[in-house]
Structure 1
Amino acid sequence: MDGFSIFDSIHIAWLISISLVLIISIYYFRYLSFKQQQLFQRSVFWLLLFLEIAKQIYLIGTAQYSYWSPPLHLCGFGIFIIGWHAYFPNRTTATILYALTLPGAAIALLFPGWTMDPVGGFLHIHSFVFHALLVVYVFVLIFAKQLHTAFRDVWRAALFLAITVPPIYMYNARFQTNFMFLNKPVRGTPLQWLYDAFGASGYLVSLAVVIFLLWIMLYLFPAIRKRRE
């Protein structure tokens, strides 16, 4: 079967299924003991790592491996940020998960870049399950009030981007790839609106502005709720 379209019946079915899994996971996680919660978090990390290794093996085995294959998207980095946080939680990992991994994975699920992959194929299923796990991991910690973030720590996410974006940009330029969507947007997504509005020269600047505005929104609502409480 061919690929799918954004918000068609296949896409919506996946989003509904992921939402149900998310709700069940949030409810389930709250009633686990501390050690069981740790096991849950570490199990998500190892499952993510297994899925990525399986993907790499699949691409090699089917002669599809290319410069596009390494996990150099923001969600690919999410594997290792989650692993770091699952074993050594700290303010840096919490901030990156909340400010980058969660919105990145959520936007990827809403506006997937794998619409051309055959429906029901390995890459199709892998992409939805992989990004769903990223969202589930962060959300269960948020609702369990175990992901402690503050706007004063957002510089940690900014520093992470400052370290990772330049080499990824150079990799893209060298091998004609588009990791982290730094060179061009995915068609039919909000990033395309930025590209159309500001052109290639203003795309990255407008993207940085949008990310900053997104951070304000992410931190503003919890701050208001906390102040009311």
Structure 2
Amino acid sequence: MDYFWKQQDDLPAGIGYGLFSIEHIISIVVVLALVVLAAVLINHFSEDKKERINKTIPVAMLILEVFKDLYLLRVGHFGIGYLPLHICSIGIFVFLVSEYAPFAKIKEIFGEIAYILIMPASLCALMFPDWADLYPVWNFMNLYSYLWHGLLILYPILLKLEGEIKPDLRHIHYEIIFLMIVVPPILLFDKKFGCNYFFVNWPLKGTPLALIEYIFGMKYYIVGYGVLALAVLIMMYVVTGIINKQN
């Protein structure tokens, strides 16, 4: 418990568990197992109960985010690097629009963005957590991060299972337009304040983005990043289409 409420700047160096350590692998397995279990159980609930759960998840995530920020303020480490500007953090706003928008088409569009864009980004975050080298397993920020990304995966899965969204490759412009609107101001923000939201300024070591930087070089890193993002979107649509045909 000595380290549970400590933020990274107050922890000793080398206390993290590292990428693909046994702790990391167990954490991934546990989170994904809980997501699958929750999705299966919820899928057997009544339609009214499913709807209530879907509406509760984004609100619960907003509360969690506020609690995290209050915690960081309390320990004196809230700063510009903790703004909700990463793709996974922006997921909460995508979920809220998907669930509470007044128009069915907007709900459908943002629901598909949640499934095709936010969900794979969250899976990547679980596979390559940037917090693994900074925190011990039994730490609030570590556990919060796994819970957060688990919910980012669960909500889109529920939308798909319940037929709320019908992803189709012909809709790929949903995600492309969304990224064209969101990424440029974040890139400018990153350049001005030396941040790395969306990892557009530099790649995270040990991730596929580092390979992109190796192949394209830093001069064309953002181009390679865009190619990778487009490939992931297409892959998500193709895989979803194959799964749909099997059902």
Structure 2: gaps (5+ residues): 4-14
- Shift in Å, 1:15: 1.1
**Which amino acid in 2 is paired with 1:145?**
G
**Which amino acid in 2 is paired with 1:221?**
V
Partner secondary structure for residue 185 of structure 1: coil
Matches within 5 A, 1:12-31: 12-31=25-44
Contact 1:25–1:140 (Cα < 8 Å) also in 2: no
Relative to structure 1, is the Cα distance of residues 224 and 21 closer, same or farther in structure 2, using a 3 angstrom cutoff?
closer
In the other structure, the counterpart of 2:67 is 54
Moved more, 84-93 or 97-106: 84-93
**Which amino acid in 1 is paired with 2:189?**
Y
In the other structure, the counterpart of 1:74 is 87
Structure 1: gaps (5+ residues): none
Matches within 5 A, 1:37-116: 37-88=50-101, 90-115=107-132, 116=134
Deviating runs (4+, > 6 A) in structure 1? none
Contact 1:38–1:86 (Cα < 8 Å) also in 2: no
- What count of residue pairs does the alignment treat as equivalent? 229
Q: CA RMSD in A?
A: 1.6
- Shift in Å, 1:31: 1.1
Q: Aligned equivalents of 1:14 and 1:141: distance in 2?
A: 25
Q: Aligned equivalents of 2:16 and 2:158: distance in 1?
A: 31
**Which amino acid in 1 is paired with 2:228?**
V
2:140 pairs, out of 115, 122, 136, with: 122
TM-score (normalised: structure 2): 0.87
- Shift in Å, 1:225: 4.6
Q: Aligned equivalents of 2:85 and 2:153: distance in 1?
A: 18
TM-score (normalised: structure 1): 0.94
Partner secondary structure for residue 68 of structure 1: helix
Relative to structure 1, is the Cα distance of residues 201 and 46 closer, same or farther in structure 2, using a 3 angstrom cutoff?
same
Q: Aligned equivalents of 1:222 and 1:135: distance in 2?
A: 15
**Which amino acid in 1 is paired with 2:111?**
A
